[in-house]
Structure 1
């Protein structure tokens, strides 16, 4: 294997977000097991390796540094503890309950578009993509409207993390908010997910106070950043691929397939961490037990070994991807993100089909997320 270059992969480098495709390709081809000099973390970039590691929780544990300061939540647990808590949460957070949100999501999407449709310009991130999931998750959980902007600010801080411990103070602030809200729901249950989670029980197992706080934090952060960045990244792709946009305008039934391709090519979460429980030898490199390993979803989703012409945005590709993870930690909120995105793209393309991105879109700098600070667009005003 060629000698490891000193700083090939640095996700918080100023130019990383612009060059990540070529960096990922070099990692896959020349350094499939890479040790990041800034942090000492190991990095896996090939689809086959990431796919296998994400399913092998016994070797690549999800109990990482973050578990030391997070309340117990699924992303920081391994089976059987993960399996038990996921079953209880699934009893309250059901596909049927997600499907019931469709009318409310459609109303919110149309309200947000209506706020800027007559102007002929907007910042799509600040005026639409960041607001929609914040309101949807807030409504689902039962967060009062006056607290949603505060919580949205916390999730935006987390998107800009450069090392795992950066999230500790933010997590504490979020727990404090939900501690009060959950106390209110225990005294006065409502028709919301927080109340259902408090009451959820499977085989006599309920969620503890800390587990409730952990899941509320997880749904808030995952529900906000994933959908926000999916919408922003997707609209940028449609701005760059006019033929694909025309196809979707003419055949809206292709939108769900287009969303899957957006997720493959521009996943909102580029990487997730694991911790090795034993020495692992892979591609001639030994990863010692107790090492932090980053699984690069963003690279695996572009691997030429898995996808023909992987850099091409193909609405009809229909290939599996790992934007929502794989294995026991496959994202429980994926149906909600897909529902919000389907409605958002359908309405945006119906109301502002001729949009164009202008100026500097402004990518965020983050060790794990792919998204925009801003996405200024112009379009023909509605009259």
Structure 2
């Protein structure tokens, strides 16, 4: 019996060395949170707006990559992989219903951004880099320099959805000037980054062609991505220093989602993960739930039914249970990024570049 016990102990030591118990527990926490988030989508698929669905699509891309490259075959890790596979199946079923609802509720917006509604559009990082504090702006504007209508137009020009069978990868001067402007804060900054990411994923080359400014002559798309994420890192540090509030938590998580998807591993901080996990509503599985405004939202929904041609608001939609469609979407997308990062971290060939 003593020999058997020694053998079991040796196996446990070997297992702990291969896959630390602490990290296994963190992955369990992420998978549990994602399961609750997917359950929320399953219930609310008819009501989540396009931005909300895109966040879940990003999650699907990250989950599929995680499942494909899952680095371990021990019982605990294999059980976790099985849970991830089940999440992928549930998402596939919910997306079909959610996308059909989007097409019915807002056909114009659906047509313009249909390419984003496929998990295969979203490229998951295969290598990692870090932000650079020396790239932080000396001064930042106090108001957004982001215009939703112009941003939408610039993205449709990249996607080729600006008209039926439109040519993709078109970059106009107003789009280039807006998307390369330095000093923009918050959502303007994240949408500048998203513009370059979507251009890359669409296969557009030379997004900066035609920029004649001497000071930008050597700038590449990758340079802009690093500048934007370095400033988004500064934003997140400032938010944490001041304390997360209802006004800042959404952009805090959005920065983690987008810069993580852009391959900046230093956004995947362990304490930031805990902040996100604590924000989830245990009852319904969403993020950003405000129970005090549920009755007000029901009234707004009734008003929307009386005005069926009113355009669905893009950036946010509060659902009848008081949940934030946008914050839930960016949170599950960010959690999927954490999962993929933690798994690739265990593969020494994919560790962050220094």
Q: Same fold (TM over 0.5)?
A: no
Q: Structure 2 length as normaliser, TM-score?
A: 0.28
**Which has the larger strand fraction?**
1
